[in-house]
């Protein structure tokens, strides 16, 4: 049997290595085994996503980090795990995710398949959420006239979504 | 590779060994598998088990709780590309829905709640997508998916968000490898928004000049646009592989013939052989058959050997788990037996 690396010398070393429970094996000649030290280089990129954020590690003041109300994930956790905890994370971190999606996919808008069921309701829910956020803003600006108008819109949408739910 | 993958060659089967479509889907209102607690994970398993019964208009399916499947069987599922390497490791509340001929598989509680996968021989992106789409429709009729009208299907990793789709083609490119053009071709593939991987997906090494190419982007285009793009790039690659093979035949015949028959000779006589060496040599012999240089070997037999010689398959054949050195000896004797028959 020939060395798996150089394919020239006869393999005389059998290397077995277990990393994170994953077993890898190689048959090498003595020169290649020496050269490789053990099994070449493992380059780890745990923080690939972090590089995609405009991320300032310390802003100078202490702010409690935003947390997903459903699964308690923070953006800090996401940077570590490279995964979200639940589908609500996408809503919680929408502002952070949109630029990320643009960098990953060159787009932040879905063009493909849409589930046949529940799509209309989903879209109404989203409108309601946006209006609620807007409502908070106008109330904090003490624009009560506008607030009343938005509240009516929300009620109308809620009636619509309940009607569809039946 | 699944039964359906190795059985027939399929369109463009001399270069494109197989097509895979994967859809990542999650249930609404339940955390993704990595953060779900035990009860929530169980709930996903229960839903999956119920769903597997509702898919019978497509094929006959069975539901596997991976905790009840022994390690060797799980390795075999991986070697057939029916589950990912990750899905063989932790088994608690992990499942698999599998069609009888193994062309449809759904991993349960992998990175996402469901990973629907369709495998077909040769280049059949549209056919595989149509089937995956039907499976998806049947599931969706019974559950609510995590979906956002703006960004599509929501997945644990934002790289899969949108369509949740990845289309992959498994390409055998020994010709390009021999004329040292593989690097160039694969580099241009990545410039077209596609990813190149080894035989077992993410992070895996290429064995036997077999490469997987797939779409990198899952958001911003429709499924059919993405697949059309993938198909066009694949067409270019297969065309250059054919050119490379023609070049070998016209300009490099004695050397190619020598390499091919040396590979054949080694396979027919070696006593100890690793998976990688065996796959590389089998790939060379397959090229020999495709170039019309080897006449006395059945192409199907060589393709089948490319799966049978993988470690778990060998151990299953022997009915027991074996140390690596013994596997290498057994592999060599299996190959000898098949080739000298």
pLDDT digits (tens, 9 = 90+) for A93-142: 998 899 999 989 988 889 888 887 655 565 677 678 778 888 988 898 88
Of A21, A83, A123, which is closest to B157 when you measure between CB atoms? Answer: A83
Q: B150–A104: do the CB atoms touch at under 8 Å? A: no
pLDDT value for B5? 44
Pick among B23, B30, B35, B207 to test the A interface (most A CBs inside 10 A):
B35
Q: Compute the count of residue pairs across chains A and B with CB atoms less than 8 Å apart.
A: 140
What are the b/e assignments for B201-236, b being 16+ CB within 10 Å?
beeeebbbbbbbbbbbbbbbbebeebbebbbebbee
Smallest Cβ–Cβ distance between A109 and the set B140, B146, B150 belongs to B150
pLDDT at A32 (0 to 100): 74
Which structural domains are found in chain B, ordered by start?
Answer: 5-241 (3.30.590.10), 253-339 (no CATH)
- pLDDT value, residue B197: 80
Whole-number percent of chain A with pLDDT over 70 = 64
In tens, the pLDDT along A61-73 reads 556 778 899 898 9
CB contact under 8 A, B163 and A85: no
Average pLDDT rounded to a whole number, residues A3-16: 74
B219 to A105: CB separation less than 8 angstroms, yes or no = yes
Contact B223 A106 (CB under 8 A): no
A22: burial class by Cβ within 10 Å (0-12, 13-18, 19+)?
exposed
Backbone angles phi, psi at A74, to 5 degrees: -110, 170
Q: Is some CB atom of chain A closer than 8 A to the CB atom of B316? A: no
d(CA B191, CA A129): 39
Q: What is this model's ipTM?
A: 0.80
A44 touches chain B (CB under 8 A): no
Q: Encode chain B (341 residues) as per-residue pLDDT tens digits.
A: 444 444 457 788 889 989 999 999 999 999 999 999 999 999 999 999 999 888 988 899 999 999 999 888 898 899 888 998 888 888 899 999 999 999 999 999 999 999 999 999 999 999 999 999 999 999 998 899 999 988 999 999 999 999 999 999 999 999 998 888 888 888 888 888 888 887 655 555 568 889 999 998 999 999 999 999 999 999 999 999 999 999 998 888 888 899 999 999 999 999 999 999 999 999 999 999 999 999 999 998 998 899 889 888 888 888 888 888 899 999 999 999 999 87
Q: Nearest residue on chain A to B204, judged by CA atoms?
A: A24
Closest residue in A to B327 (Cα) is A25
């Amino acid at each position: 049997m020939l060395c798996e690396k150089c394919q020239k010398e006869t393999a005389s070393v059998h290397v077995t290595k277990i990393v994170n429970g994953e077993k890898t094996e190689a048959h090498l000649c003595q020169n290649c085994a020496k050269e490789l030290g053990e099994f070449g280089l493992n380059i780890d990129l745990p923080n690939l996503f972090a590089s995609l954020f405009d991320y300032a590690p310390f802003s100078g003041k202490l702010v409690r980090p935003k947390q997903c109300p459903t699964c308690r994930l923070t953006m800090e956790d996401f940077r570590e795990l490279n995964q979200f905890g639940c589908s609500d994370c996408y809503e919680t971190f929408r502002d952070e995710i949109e630029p990320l999606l643009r960098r990953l996919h060159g787009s932040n808008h879905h063009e493909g398949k849409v589930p046949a069921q529940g799509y209309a309701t989903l879209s109404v829910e989203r409108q309601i959420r946006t209006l609620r956020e807007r409502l908070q803003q106008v109330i904090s600006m003490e624009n009560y006239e506008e607030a009343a108008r938005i509240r009516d819109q929300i009620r109308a949408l809620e009636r619509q979504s309940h009607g569809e739910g039946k | 590779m699944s039964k359906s993958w190795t059985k027939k060659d399929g369109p463009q089967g001399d270069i494109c060994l197989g097509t895979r479509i994967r859809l990542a889907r999650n249930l609404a209102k339940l955390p993704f598998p990595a953060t779900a607690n035990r009860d929530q994970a169980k709930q996903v398993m229960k839903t999956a088990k119920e769903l597997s019964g509702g898919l019978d208009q497509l094929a006959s399916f069975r539901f596997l709780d991976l905790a009840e499947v022994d390690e060797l069987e799980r390795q075999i599922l991986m070697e057939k590309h029916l589950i990912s390497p990750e899905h063989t490791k932790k088994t608690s509340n992990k499942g698999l829905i599998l069609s009888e001929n193994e062309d449809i598989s759904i991993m349960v509680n992998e990175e996402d709640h469901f990973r629907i996968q369709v495998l077909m021989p040769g280049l059949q992106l549209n056919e595989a997508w149509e089937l995956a789409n039907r499976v998806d429709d049947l599931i969706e009729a019974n559950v609510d998916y995590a979906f956002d009208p703006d960004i599509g299907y929501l997945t644990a990793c934002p790289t899969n968000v949108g369509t949740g789709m990845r289309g992959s083609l498994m390409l055998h490119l020994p010709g390009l490898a021999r004329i040292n053009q593989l690097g160039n071709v694969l580099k241009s593939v990545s410039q077209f928004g596609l990813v190149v991987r080894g035989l077992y997906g993410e992070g895996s090494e290429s064995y036997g000049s077999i490469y997987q190419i797939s779409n990198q982007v899952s958001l911003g285009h429709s499924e059919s646009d993405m697949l059309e793009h993938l198909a066009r790039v694949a067409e270019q690659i297969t065309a250059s592989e054919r050119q490379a093979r023609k070049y070998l035949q016209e300009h490099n015949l004695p050397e190619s013939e020598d390499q091919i028959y040396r590979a054949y000779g080694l396979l027919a006589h070696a006593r100890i052989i690793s998976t990688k060496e065996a796959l590389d040599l089998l790939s060379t012999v397959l090229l020999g058959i495709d170039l019309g240089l080897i006449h006395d070997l059945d192409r199907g037999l060589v393709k089948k050997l490319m799966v049978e010689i993988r470690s778990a398959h060998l151990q299953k054949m022997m009915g027991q788990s074996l140390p690596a050195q013994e596997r290498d000896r057994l592999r060599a004797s299996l190959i000898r037996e098949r080739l000298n028959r």
